[in-house]
Amino acid sequence: MSSASFISQYPYHLLVGCFLAITLFKRLGAKKRNPNNLPYPPGPKGYPLIGSLFDMPKGKPWLEYHEWSKTYGDMIYFEVLGQPFLVLGSLERANDIFEKRSSNYSDRMRMPMINELMGHDGMLAFQRYGPVWKKHRRAFQEQFHPQVIGEYQPVHVREVRAFLQRLLETPKDFYRHIDQSFGATILKVAYGYTIQGHDDPLVLNIEDAMDGIKQAGHPGAFLVDLIPAMKYIPEWFPGATFQKKAARWRQITQDMTNKPFEYVKEQMKNGTAIPCISTKMIDQLPDENDPSRAEQEQLAKRTASAAYLAGADSTLSAVKTFFLAMILYPEAQRRAQEELDSVLCGRLPEFSDRDSLPYINALVNENLRWKLVTNVGFPHVASQDDEYNGYFIPKGTLLIANAWAALHDPEVFENPDEFLPERYLDKDGQLDHSVRSPSVAAFGFGRRKCPGRHFSNDGLFMMIASTLAVYNILPPLDSNGKPCQLTAEFTSEVVSTPLPFECRIVPRSSAANTLIQDCLTFE
C-alpha cells in the first residue's frame, strides 16, 4: 500500500498521535546525546509534548522575540511539537554562532512545502547545506561578485530613468511602477529580456512566485513543515487545501525557471540574444552529448531564476520603504536634495557620482537599517549537537537571528526607531565607517549571507538618488486640502513591505520636468 493511500484511509488524529510519539522519542534521544547534562539556554518552558506552541509569535516575531530577550537574555530556547528553536537576540551571539561556528550552523530545515511541494529546492535561500548548495552558491557568486556587478550598472541607470518617466505620467501608480522597474532590471540582467509593460507575463510570474514564498516562507506556516508525512495526503482529501496551493505555486515555479531560459536559448539560435547571465552560462555549457550537460544546464537555469526571484522583491521592498520615509521625515529629503543639487548641477546622477554623495549613501544605509526587508530572515539549522557557553544545543535546532534587534540596539543607535541618515556621517559630513553598517545583519549571516547584496545596493542607490534629484515626495491631501498624517505600517511576512499608502510625487521644477522627459532621448 502506498503512503498516500495509507494516509487517505486514516484520520488526522492518527498522524498527530504518531507525531507526538516521535517527539517523545527525539527528546529522549537528545538526553542521551548530552553526556555532561548541560542545560538548554533559557526560554519559555511550554507544555508537555506540544512545548511552546501557544507562545509562538502570531505577528511581527522580531518584536515579540525582542520582548522575550528582556526576560531570558540574548539566547532564547524553546520547543514546539518537539522542534527546538534558538533565537539569537544580539549581533554578538549571531556572529559567534553563524560566523565562528559556520560549519555546524549553515544548514536549512527541510521545509517540505517550499522545497518538495512548491519546487523551490533550487533556490539558494532554501537549499540544504552541502555539496549541491555549494555548487549553486559558487555559480551565483560568479555572476554577482563585486568585481562583476559593474557590468550591470547601465541597466540600473536605464530602468530607473524609465521609472522616472512612468512616475511623470501616473504618479499615483508608484507602487506598480516600482515593481515594474525592478522586474525589468532583473529580467534584463538575467535574460537580456525587455519587458512589455507591467502586465508582462514574466513580471506577473515573479509577483505570483513571491506571493507563494511570502506565505510559505515562515517555518510552520503550513502544518506539513512540522509533519512531513502530510505531503502524501492527496489533494482531494478534506482539509488538504495546502496541496491545491502547492500545485498552483509549483506550476508558477516551473514557468519561472524554464520559460525565460528557453527564450534565451531560442534567441541565441537566431543570433539575436542580448548578452546576459544566461547567455554567459549557456556558452559555458558542455556539448549536447556530454553526460554532464543536463546537470549543468539545470544549474544555469536555477542560477538565473534565483537572481530574478530574489533580487527583485528584496530591493523593491526597500524602495517602497524609502518613499514612506521621505514623507515621514521631510528634513532628510531636503538635506538629500541639497547635496544632489550641489553635485549634479541640473543633471541626473551616475554611479561615478557615488563617492561625492555621502548623505545619499548615509540615507541608503539608514533605509536598510530603519525597516529591514527581512527582520529575522530564514532559520539556520544545527547540523550536529553542540555545546556553547555552557549550554547544550541539540542537532536539528532551528536558529533564528533577530536582525531587527541588531540594527535597533539603543546601545549602538541613539533613537533607533527614528529615521536619521546623519547617524552614518562624521563631523565633517563624510561617511563614518565606524558606525555599525546595516550589512552586518540586513542580508543574513555567515555562509548564508545574501550573495546578491551588492547588486541590490547598487539598485537602491540609483533609485534613491535619481528620484530625489527630480521629484518631491509629499504626503497625500485630505478633503480639506491639508496634508494627511501617515504612519509606518509594515507586513509581518518573511519579506516585510510597507502596507499600501498614498503620496504625491511632484517634479521639483519645470527644469526637472524637462529633464525627466528627455532622460532617455539620447541613449
- Known binding residues are 450
User: CA-to-CA distance for 66 and 71, rounded, in angstroms?
Assistant: 9
Question: Are 120 and 461 within 8 A, CB to CB?
Answer: no
User: CA-to-CA distance for 316 and 184, rounded, in angstroms?
Assistant: 12
Torsion sign (Cα): 125, 127, 130, 136: negative
Q: For the range 123-126, what are the long-range contacts, defined as Cβ-Cβ under 8 Å and sequence gap of 24 or more?
A: 123/302, 123/305, 123/306, 123/309, 123/310, 124/306, 124/310, 124/451, 125/310, 125/378, 125/448, 126/378
List binding-site positions for heme: 450
Which helix (DSSP H) or strand (DSSP E) does residue 433 occupy? none
DSSP string, 325-344: HHHH-HHHHHHHHHHHHHHH
Tally the C-alpha atoms within 13 A of residue 255's C-alpha that lie toward its C-beta. Answer: 15
Report the candidate in 366, 306, 355 with the shortest Cα–Cα distance to residue 332. 366
Question: Are 405 and 90 within 8 A, CB to CB?
Answer: yes
- In eight-state DSSP terms, residue 95 is I
Amino acid in position 121 = D
- In eight-state DSSP terms, residue 278 is H
Q: Which three cell numbers stand for residue 180?
A: 515594474
- In eight-state DSSP terms, residue 422 is G
Q: Which three cell numbers stand for residue 124?
A: 539558494
Cβ-count burial of 13 within 10 angstroms (0-12 exposed, 13-18 middle, 19+ buried)? Answer: exposed
At a CB cut-off of 8 Å and minimum separation 6, what does 330 contact? none
Phi, psi (5° rounding) for residue 43?
170, 175
Question: Are 469 and 507 within 8 A, CB to CB?
Answer: no
